[in-house]
Amino acid sequence: MRNTIQRQLVLDAVRELKDHPTADEVYQHIASTNPSVSRATVYRNLKQLSESGEIKLRRISGSAERYDHIQTNHYHARCIKCGAICDLELPYLDHLEESVRDNSGFKLFGHDLTFYGLCKECAAKAEEKTEGKKQ
């Protein structure tokens, strides 16, 4: 793996953006200062960096793939209305795989768990609407 400026830009962007950005968010961030960097390069580097373990790929159901500078396992919630993604505080279910009764012969390595619901803002708006109808 070669040490290119593009790779460094990608790594820095993921770290700066913090909030598990999508590939496109990473690209936009980089493009704002380095417009010559191509989208394909961003995608390729995100994939490589996550495979080498420098960043973490997060598969969040209902959303594009995301990349996280944080390595520790934790879960996320997705707002079904605005798409916001939020870290949750829930102990990681470390040994969930072991409790699967495996009639299928699958060799399990891990799991992806995503909660869904309404974020604070969208829940508030929904509340407003309901109130409006009552009156």
Partner DNA sequence: GTTGATGCAAATGGTTTGCATAAGG
Partner DNA sequence: CCTTATGCAAACCATTTGCATCAAC
User: Annotated binding site: which residue ranges?
Assistant: 79, 82, 111, 119, 122
Question: Tokens 């830009």 belong to which residue?
Answer: 9
Helix (H) or strand (E) holding 87: strand 85-87
Residue 49 binds: one of DNA, a second copy, none (C-beta under 5 to 8 A by kind): none
3 lines the binding site for DNA (CB under 7 A)? yes
| Sequence-distant (≥ 6) Cβ neighbours of residue 112 within 8 angstroms | 59, 60, 61
Please give the structure tokens belonging to residue 8: 């460094």
Helix (H) or strand (E) holding 86: strand 85-87
64 lines the binding site for DNA (CB under 7 A)? yes
7 lines the binding site for DNA (CB under 7 A)? yes
| Sequence-distant (≥ 6) Cβ neighbours of residue 43 within 8 angstroms | 23
- Looking at the Cβ atoms of 8 and 123, the one nearer to a second copy is 123
- Looking at the Cβ atoms of 4 and 131, the one nearer to DNA is 4
Size of the site for a second copy (CB under 8 A): 38
Distance CA 7, CA 13 (A): 10
Task: Annotate each residue in 16-55 with x if it binds DNA (CB under 7 A) or - if it does not, as one string.
Answer: ------xxx-----------xxxxxx-xxx-xx-------
Scanning 2-10, 21-29, 33-41, 57-65 for contacts with a second copy by CB under 8 A, the matching segment is 57-65
